[in-house]
Chain A
């Protein structure tokens, strides 16, 4: 697997960023990688899109007006239906405090802006693998229940 090729895993990534250029850049990179991309331009829009379903990974900016990335995390972690969707923070706030705040909110990974494309792909893939394994575990659990 090279960084330039399309991934063999599929999935839907929600990109949440108030900056239009960032959204376009991320959509372009992720679509070229073979993922399906949804876009939200703020915290509220992100929560609405997640409620519609089938989001596998969220790439979440931190500094956004009205409802910032941490607020979005708090809301998503509140509800059991959305708490397990992996969140990757993607932010220009490249410091330990922001990392610690994300960690304490149950965030799954952290990327600093400007984004390193290879790392972006790697980080998204790790979370898609995690989703896939979780899904397999659910199936196994259902089978186990049928057997017993």
Chain B
């Protein structure tokens, strides 16, 4: 027997708790709140977070929601030796999130996919990201990619020829 009356009594106000990634603008506030809370457990020094580390936390998608954020901050506060949470203190999956967002994950649609184009785009994104990280230094970028400098330069040259006509991303 389904007690409809009871159901409606209990379900007065159904509340869906939004995922943290839907409330990303609240992340800095929550970070400060949790830092304060867990800092109370330490009596030697108050652990602070650098702005770059905060940006990484802000941009991350938090599949484990607020609990994941709080657990991480608790751990970081306990483990911190110098009182500063910097990008290097963050777990690798959070540290690499910003870069990974830029690399497209290929999707096979019902119509299939153009493998050559997909591979090329993937390669280009990785090259761009390597160049960005090394501030345009081709030698260092090639090392990041496990390529010879000459191979990277050849790839860039070929690309410049191909994209002159249809580069929509210049803005």
Residues of A within 8 A of B (CB): 2-5, 17-19, 21-22, 25, 61, 92, 94, 96, 99-100, 103-104, 106-119, 126-127, 129-130, 133-134, 136-137, 140-141, 143-144, 147
Contacts and interface: CB of A to CB of B under 8 A. Distances in A.
Contacts of A104: 28
B15 A140 contact: yes
A92 B102 CA distance: 12
A15 B23 CA distance: 21
A4 B15 contact: no
Contacts of B171: 17-19, 21-22, 61, 92, 113
B25 A106 contact: yes
Interface centre among B24, B101, B132, B168 (most CB of A within 10 A): B24
A144 B59 CA distance: 34
Given A4-B107, A22-B171, A99 B16 contact: no
A119 B101 contact: yes
Contacts of B19: 126, 129
Nearest to B23: A130
A3 B22 contact: no
Interface in B76-106: 98, 101-105
Contacts of A25: 168
Interface residues of B, number: 36
A133 B51 contact: no
A60 B23 CA distance: 18
B59 A113 contact: no
Interface in B7-29: 12-16, 18-19, 21-25, 28
B25 A107 contact: yes
Contacts of B45: none
B10 to A, nearest CB: 13
Contacts of A129: 18-19, 22
Contacts of A119: 101-102, 104
Interface in B97-151: 98, 101-105, 107-111, 125, 132
Contacts of A133: 16, 18, 22
Given A2-B107, A116-B125, 6 more contacts: A2-B109, A4-B111, A99-B98, A108-B24, A127-B22, A143-B13
A59 to B, nearest CB: 13
B104 to A, nearest CB: 5
Nearest to B171: A19
4 closest Cβ pairs, A-B complex: A19-B171, A114-B169, A130-B22, A4-B109
